Structure 1
Amino acid sequence: MTKNKSVISVSLLLLLSLLWGSSFLFTKILVEDLHPVSLIFIRCLFGLVMLGPILYFKRISIKRKLTFTFVSSLSLAAGIPWMLMAFSLVSLHSSVSGILNSFTSIFTFVLSLIFLKVKPLANQLVSLVLGMLALIILFLDTLQVDAFGFFSVGLMLTCTLCYATNSIIAGRYFQGISPFVLGFYTLLFGMIINGIPTIFIQPEVFLLLASWEILIPVAILGFLSSGLGYVIFYQLIENGGPVYATFVTFLIPFVSVLLGVVVLNEPFRVYMIIGGVMIFFALVAMNWHLFRRRKIKVT
């Protein structure tokens, strides 16, 4: 990777971590006025508005046979987990949600052991132990500040389990499909899944967008975090490879905690510090063999 390309990649990585890390903040703000289901409907709709022109100008065909595996897997990529995240943020702090989101990598590893029969490495087992200890610490923390700690944490972990399941299925069956096409259908299915109940739950949702206090965070979530976020992520994969792109997973929790504490005045306690640091090292341990492999190739 050239020097200019490296600078661009680092800038994109930081931008993506800010976009995805801030999604917990804006979701937390918006669930005060929007129902979680209607919020995700609008988020996916705005994301499609952003992604659509990119597909058109890049002349990428979206024609695809909609099999059960394809629809169900991509529904687990956004439509269902984003809805669960929105429900969890009704009572869970955005900072804690951002940290719990990091369990996606650990759950993906566990599912690969179960369904793909992958032989675990020593560093991955260490990561699993650190992750479970961090989960216990964070759960004890939420119980102190949230009467619905168990339920909210459970929803957020189910959200990450959806991400992990989608990763396993997509990695096995969707090789060779343009990531932009996968992104398009991910947002489309999310819009449909949440759009149908929105008609009955909050039919006036578009009228609520007349308020700038609602429209601006929704636009950031939809246009930037969802639509532009996909483009940046896949560009990172193209520039530096999938291992480099996974660095965003390390940065998201720190962004979500910082924004939650500074913007929403959420508490910042020792439990969060310990749990966040343990998850960070768990993610490092999980991907240590990949980092070493990449370093060897570079040198």
Structure 2
Amino acid sequence: MTRRDATVLLVLSAIWGASFLFIKLGVDAFEPSVVAFGRLFFGSLLLLALLPGRGGLAPLRGHLRPIVVLGALNNAIPFWLLGFAETRLDSGLTAVIQAAAPIFTVVLASRIDASQRVAGARLVGVAVGFVGVVLLVGVQSGGELIAAVAVLGVAFCYAASVLFAGVTMRGIPALQVSLGQLTCAAVLISPFALLQRPDSAPPAKAWLAVVALGVLGSGIAYLLYFALIASAGASRAILVTYLVPAFALVYGTVFLDETVTAVALAGLALVLTGTALATGLARLRPASVPS
């Protein structure tokens, strides 16, 4: 990974870490489907403003079906699930559970491509990460357990979508891919948002949170994300999940007075250690034999 890619990864992590804070502020006043639609709508508007002089929508010609699938898998479904989860879970914990996405990526990649078969240290990494996920989810109960499982659904969607995008969107500019998927996702979720629109005017804080989600968390972030996939590859791009929980925990603690528990930190450590091994970022070294 180049220095430029590393910088993009860091900025993207800071933006998406803040997204969990904005979601929490949004679902305090709006239904999750409305927050998801607002995020998609404002993100699409930003990208649409950048489109003139950059090839228009021509690069998407003949790619409508994969763009719709990507919009559902990478935006509509996970955005709604995240909003639902944060009505029951702290924003920081939600980000920590979502950190399981690279584990799912490794497992799914091995099913798609036989050369990516999980074995050795990578298999150990998947197992360690799985233990971390079980620890994080297992301590929840009632509605919180359902919310934690919903976040696992988000992680699975993101893992599947990054692999899908790497195969179907190759060679298409990041701007067009981002605009296409956000617009399709907005259309898909709009009927639910319309049915669940608020009866009274929500506070300005909630509106600003939704706008920030769209402009930063969707518009700018997805431009960076797909550019990173194109430059560094899907397996490197998903590593954004390493840094997002740390930013989200800090934001949640500072701005929402959320408590960082020992269980959350232990689960995060296991998930990230497992991810490092499963993706090959870290390797198990055999113990040296004294001579």
TM range (shorter): 0.7 to 0.9
Give yes or no for contact 2:36–2:79 (8 Å, CA) kept in 1: yes
| Alignment deviations for residues 17-43 of structure 1 (CA, whole Å, 9 cap, x no partner) | 111011111111211100100111110
Name the TM-score, length of structure 2 as normaliser.
Answer: 0.86
Write the letter of the residue equivalent to 1:256.
A
- Residue in 1 that maps onto 2:270: 278
Distance (whole Å) between structure 2 residues aligned to residue 290 and residue 274 of structure 1:
19
Distance 1:220 1:243 in 2: 27
Matched, 1:288 2:263: no
| SS in structure 2 at match of 1:142 | coil
Aligned partner of 1:164 among 150, 154, 159: 159
Which residue does 2:127 correspond to in 1?
129
Distance 1:102 1:70 in 2: 25
Structure 1 stretches of 4+ moved >6 Å: none
Q: Distance in 2 between matches of 1:236 and 1:35?
A: 32
Q: How far apart are 1:93 and its partner, in Å?
A: 1.4
| Distance change >3 Å, CA 90–CA 271, structure 1 → 2 | same
CA deviations over 1:218-254 (Å, ceiling 9, x no partner) = 1211101110112223444566565654442210011
* Partner Cα distance (2:252, 2:188) in 1: 29
CA distance in 2: counterparts of 1:286 and 1:167, whole angstroms: 16
Q: Which amino acid aligns with 2:216?
A: L
Note the C-alpha offset of 1:12.
3.5
Q: Please tell me whether residue 120 in structure 1 is matched to residue 118 in structure 2.
A: yes
Rounded to whole Å, the distance in 2 between the matches of 1:86 and 1:25 is 11
- Residue 98 (structure 1) aligned to one of 95, 104, 113: 95
| Deviation at residue 164 of structure 1 after TM alignment | 1.9
User: What residue is the counterpart of 1:178 in the other structure?
Assistant: 173
Identity level (%): 24
Q: Which moved more, 1:263-272 or 1:161-170?
A: 161-170
Label 1:112 to 1:87 Cα distance change in 2 as closer, same or farther (>3 A): same
> Relative to structure 1, is the Cα distance of residues 290 and 192 closer, same or farther in structure 2, using a 3 angstrom cutoff?
farther
Query: What's 2:289 paired with?
Result: none
Q: Secondary structure at the match of 1:78?
A: helix
Over the aligned positions, Cα root-mean-square deviation in angstroms equals 2.6
Q: Distance in 2 between matches of 1:71 and 1:201?
A: 23
Q: How does 1:37-52 map to 2 (within 5 A)?
A: 37-52=33-48
Q: What residue ranges of structure 2 are gaps of 5+ in the alignment?
A: 284-291
1:1-299 → structure 2 map (5 Å cutoff): 6=3, 9-62=5-58, 63-65=60-62, 67-117=64-114, 118-143=116-141, 147-202=142-197, 208=202, 211-237=203-229, 245-288=237-280
Unaligned runs of 5+ in 1: 292-299
Q: CA separation in 2, counterparts of 1:183 and 1:236?
A: 12
Number of paired residues?
Answer: 281
Query: TM-score scaled by structure 1?
Result: 0.84
**In 2, are the aligned partners of 1:141 and 1:272 still within 8 Å (CA)?**
no
Q: Deviations over 1:196-217 (max 9, x none)?
A: 2222221658x54xx4212221
Once the two structures are superposed, what CA deviation does each residue of 1:248-298 show, in whole Å capped at 9, x if it has no partner? 22100111112222222222221111111111212211222699xxxxxxx
